[in-house]
Amino acid sequence: MKSTMGRPRRITDEQVSIILAWHEQILTWKALRGALKTQRQLARDLGVSTATISRVIACRGLFKQPSPERRGEEVALRRRRLAR
């Protein structure tokens, strides 16, 4: 993990992997573009904005903050390190 500074992440690791898999499908199957979901449809299905989809693709899923389901354990680990 890089840093715990900044705004807490809202998108989960599972959502990141779904977005990246979808992006690979788009790049690989441009000829089948009509059969694949659009970025807007994927964002609607995941309940995030299209800007979030674009950001995940641009940074290849590498975030500073841990995903929401792992945030508690990361914060506890950081507090233990700082207490030493």
pTM for the structure as a whole:
0.52
Is the distance from CB of 9 to CB of 74 less than 8 angstroms?
A: no
* Long-range contacts from 36-45, C-beta under 8 angstroms, 24+ separation: 42/18
In degrees, rounded to 5, the angle at the alpha carbon of residue 83 between the alpha carbons of residues 79 and 84 is 125
What pLDDT, in 10s, does the model give residues 39-74? Answer: 899 999 999 999 999 998 888 888 777 788 888 898
User: Rounded to 5 degrees, what are φ and ψ at 62?
Assistant: -95, 110
Looking at every residue in the chain, the average pLDDT score rounds to: 85
User: How confident is the model at residue 41, as a pLDDT?
Assistant: 92
Domain ranges of the chain: 13-83
